[in-house]
Structure 1
Amino acid sequence: MSGVDLLTFGEVLVSLRSTGPLHLGGPLTMHMVGAESNVAVGLSRLGHRAALAGRVSDDELGEFVLRELRAEGVDTDGVRRDPDRPAGLMFLERRTADLTRVVYRRAGSAGSALDVDDLRGPLAAGPRLVHLTGITPALSDSARAAVTWAAREAASAGTTVSLDVNYRTRLWSREAARAALTPLAGYASVVVASADELDLVAEPGADEDTAVAGLLRRGVHTVLVKLGADGARAHTRDGVVHAAAVPVTAVDTVGAGDAFTAGYLSGHLDGLDLADRLQRAVALGAFAVAAHGDWEGLPRRDELSLITGSVAGTTLR
C-alpha cells in the first residue's frame, strides 16, 4: 500500500435496486455503494492511487464488493474479511420518476465493526491524504474511536486530512453528530459540508460566515460549502471562491457530493490552484448527477474535457 495518494475507510454497502415498489417484487440489480468507496473510485478513475480500508463480510457479498473495488483500481490490501458479521445492505425502490425510497439493513454489519487495529497498517504506509466522512463515526463506538485515532495520527504526521460532514439522519441525531464531528474537524485541513451541515462542526445555529470563521481559527485551511444547483463556495483565509454548477440534465443526485469531494481532492493532489480545484469538483458533481448510480458515471481523466468546457467561470471576492 506504499505510495498511496489517498487512504479512506468506512462501510461499503451492497445496494439492491428496483425500478418499482419493492412490495410488488420484481428484479433487483446489485451495486456497490458507500461514501468513502465513491470517493476512492473517483480518485482512481482520475489516475490517482486510492486505497480503502475496513471490513467486508466473508461471503459472496463481501467478494462482490472487493471485486468491484479492484476492478476500479482501488487498493484493497487494507480490507479485512470478517467471518462473523454480514454485509450491510441498502434497498432502493423507484416510486416515481422523481422519488426514490431507501431501506437499510446495516445494523451489526462487518463494516460497522471497524476498529483502530484495522487502520494501523494502512495509515503506517504513509498516504499523501486521508479522507474521512461523518458517516463512519456514526456506525459504532469502535468505528468512532477508529476515525478519531486516524485523524489525530494523520494530522500529527503532517498528512493532509479531509472531512466530509455527510450527515445522515437515520444514523444519529444532530446533537450526537455535533459532539463527535466538531472535535474531529480540528484535525482536518479540508472540511466539506452543505450549508445546513456547517453548524455540526461549529457552534449550534451558526450561520455560514460564523461557522467558517471558527473553523479557520482552529487551523482548517479550506472550507468547501456545497450549494447544489448553485454550485459551491471555497473559503480560505484569503477570501471566498465561488464556482457555478455545470448545466446538465440531472437524472440521479445520489453520490453527487462524493463526486464533488473526489474532484476537489484530485485537484489538490495535482497541485491546482483553489479556483481550478473547485472547478474540477463541480465538474465531477455534474458527471455524477447526469448518470444513474452512485459512482458509475464518474469520468476518467481523458473524459474531463467532455464537461469542463461547460463550467461557468469562477469568481473571487
Structure 2
Amino acid sequence: MTVISYGEVMGVFSLNDSKFVYSNNAQFHIAGAEANTMIGLSKLGISSHFITATGNDAIGDAIQYQLKGEGIGTKFLTKLNNYSTGIMTKERAASNIIRVNYFREFSAINHYEISSFFNDIFENATILYITGITPSLSQHTYKTTISLIKEAKEKGLTIIFDPNYRKKLWNENEFRKFYKEIAMDIDILLTGNSEAKILFGSKKYEEYAKNMNNKLLVIKDGSRGAFFANQKERFFKEAYKVKEVDSIGAGDAFAAGLIYGLESYGIENLVEVSKYALAMGALATTTYGDFYGLPKLNELEQFLNNQICDVER
C-alpha cells in the first residue's frame, strides 16, 4: 500500500503561551496538514510519497531534511529558486485561543508544475489523500488538484478527501464550488462537523448518511468523537479521553489512523477502523507541535490496550 498526497509544507514560528508582541522566544517547526498525515502514516508503517515544493532557502532545507527523516518519499519534492517557502505564525490570544496567520500567497507550491512527471506519481500508488487546503492556495494549485483527482480516479486509486476548510484562504461559496467538481470522484469523505454543515446544510449525522454517494463517510466532531457510516452500518463513537495540550494537527492524525485502520481491517469493519482513527487523533493532542505527539504503531497499540501509563521505567 502506498499513499500519495499533494500540498504545501510551511515553516512555523509559534508561541505556546504568549503573543509575539510580548516575546522574542518563538519556536520553529514545520507543518502542513497533508504532511502531518503522511508523517503519521510513516510512523504506522505505511509507505507514502508527498508532492510539494519549497523555496531554495533555509526553511526549505529544514522541510526536506525533516520529511526525509520521518520516512516520507520525497522524490516529488522540488526546490524553486525564484520563490520562497511558505510561512505560518501561531500564538496564544485572549481566552487561550490559538491565532494563526499565513504568509503563503507567493510561495513555491503556487508555481510548481508537475506535468513532466505526472504519470510517475501514480506508479504503485493505491490511495490519493487530498485536503481542501491545497486548492484554496491559488488557481494553479486548484487546477493541479483537480487533475490529480481525475487521473487517480481513472487509474482506480481510492480517493480520500478531507475538506479542512480554512476561512482565511477562501470563502464558503468557493469551497462548495470546488467540492461539487470532485464530489462524484470521492470514495471516502472525511470531514469535520462544521465543514459538513457548510457543504450540505445544517443536518444531523443520520441525514448526511442517507444521501451519501461515498463508500465511507466520516464526520469528526472534535473532543466529542466522530460519526462513521459505510453502505451497511453507521454509528457515533466517543473520543478517547486524554490530557489535551495542543489540538492543532489532531484531525491530520485522525486521518492517518483512519487510513491505517482501513488498510488493516477493511472498509467493512468500521468498529476497528474507528478505534485507530480516534486513538491517533487523541494522542496528537497530548504534545505541542503538529506531529510531535504522533505515536509509532506499538505505542498506538499499547494505548488501545490501555497499557500506556504516566511513567515508563
Q: TM (normalized to structure 2)? A: 0.91
In the alignment, what sits opposite 1:274?
270
Alpha-carbon distance between aligned partners in 2 of 1:143 and 1:303, rounded to the nearest angstrom: 36
| 8 Å Cα contact 2:11-2:86 kept in structure 1 | yes
Q: Does residue 136 in structure 1 map to residue 134 in structure 2?
A: yes
Amino acid at match of 2:299: E
Amino acid at match of 2:85: A
| 8 Å Cα contact 2:162-2:191 kept in structure 1 | yes
Q: Does residue 15 in structure 1 map to residue 12 in structure 2?
A: yes
| 8 Å Cα contact 1:115-1:143 kept in structure 2 | no
Residue 50 (structure 2) aligned to one of 49, 52, 56:
52
Amino acid at match of 1:77: K
Q: In structure 2, do the counterparts of structure 1 residues 122 and 255 end up closer, same or farther at CA, with 3 Å as the change threshold?
A: farther
Alpha-carbon distance between aligned partners in 2 of 1:54 and 1:230, rounded to the nearest angstrom: 33
Q: Does residue 62 in structure 1 map to residue 60 in structure 2?
A: yes
Q: Does residue 287 in structure 1 map to residue 283 in structure 2?
A: yes
Q: In structure 2, do the counterparts of structure 1 residues 145 and 55 end up closer, same or farther at CA, with 3 Å as the change threshold?
A: same
Residue 153 (structure 2) aligned to one of 155, 158, 162:
155
Amino acid at match of 1:296: Y
Q: In structure 2, do the counterparts of structure 1 residues 119 and 96 end up closer, same or farther at CA, with 3 Å as the change threshold?
A: farther
Alpha-carbon distance between aligned partners in 1 of 2:137 and 2:253, rounded to the nearest angstrom: 22
Q: In structure 2, do the counterparts of structure 1 residues 155 and 53 end up closer, same or farther at CA, with 3 Å as the change threshold?
A: same
In the alignment, what sits opposite 1:245?
239
In the alignment, what sits opposite 2:305?
309
Moved more, 267-276 or 4-13: 267-276
| 8 Å Cα contact 2:228-2:274 kept in structure 1 | yes
1:210-229 to structure 2, matched below 5 A, reads 210-216=207-213, 220-229=214-223
Amino acid at match of 1:142: H
Moved more, 124-133 or 21-30: 21-30
Q: In structure 2, do the counterparts of structure 1 residues 138 and 79 end up closer, same or farther at CA, with 3 Å as the change threshold?
A: same
Alpha-carbon distance between aligned partners in 1 of 2:306 and 2:110, rounded to the nearest angstrom: 40
Alpha-carbon distance between aligned partners in 2 of 1:70 and 1:171, rounded to the nearest angstrom: 28
Q: In structure 2, do the counterparts of structure 1 residues 303 and 127 end up closer, same or farther at CA, with 3 Å as the change threshold?
A: same
CA RMSD of aligned residues (A): 2.0
Structure 1: runs of 5 or more not aligned: 312-317
Q: In structure 2, do the counterparts of structure 1 residues 22 and 263 end up closer, same or farther at CA, with 3 Å as the change threshold?
A: same
| 8 Å Cα contact 2:265-2:272 kept in structure 1 | no
Question: Across the two proteins, how many residue pairs are aligned to each other?
Answer: 304
In the TM superposition, residue 209 of structure 1 has moved relative to its aligned partner by: 3.7
| 8 Å Cα contact 2:126-2:158 kept in structure 1 | yes
In the alignment, what sits opposite 2:167?
169
Alpha-carbon distance between aligned partners in 2 of 1:104 and 1:238, rounded to the nearest angstrom: 41
Q: Per-residue displacement from partner, 1:28-85 (whole Å, max 9, x unpaired)? A: 2211100000000000000111111121111111111010101100011011111111
Q: In structure 2, do the counterparts of structure 1 residues 119 and 212 end up closer, same or farther at CA, with 3 Å as the change threshold?
A: farther
In the TM superposition, residue 106 of structure 1 has moved relative to its aligned partner by: 1.1
In the alignment, what sits opposite 2:252?
258
Alpha-carbon distance between aligned partners in 1 of 2:44 and 2:120, rounded to the nearest angstrom: 21
Amino acid at match of 2:166: R
Q: Per-residue displacement from partner, 1:121-159 (whole Å, max 9, x unpaired)? A: 452323111100000010111111111111111111111
Alpha-carbon distance between aligned partners in 2 of 1:195 and 1:21, rounded to the nearest angstrom: 29
In the alignment, what sits opposite 1:314?
none
In the TM superposition, residue 102 of structure 1 has moved relative to its aligned partner by: 1.6
- Name the SS of the counterpart of 1:215 in structure 2: coil
Q: In structure 2, do the counterparts of structure 1 residues 278 and 254 end up closer, same or farther at CA, with 3 Å as the change threshold?
A: same
What fraction of aligned residue pairs are identical, expressed as a percent? Answer: 26
Q: TM (normalized to structure 1)? A: 0.90
In the TM superposition, residue 205 of structure 1 has moved relative to its aligned partner by: 4.8
| 8 Å Cα contact 1:235-1:241 kept in structure 2 | yes
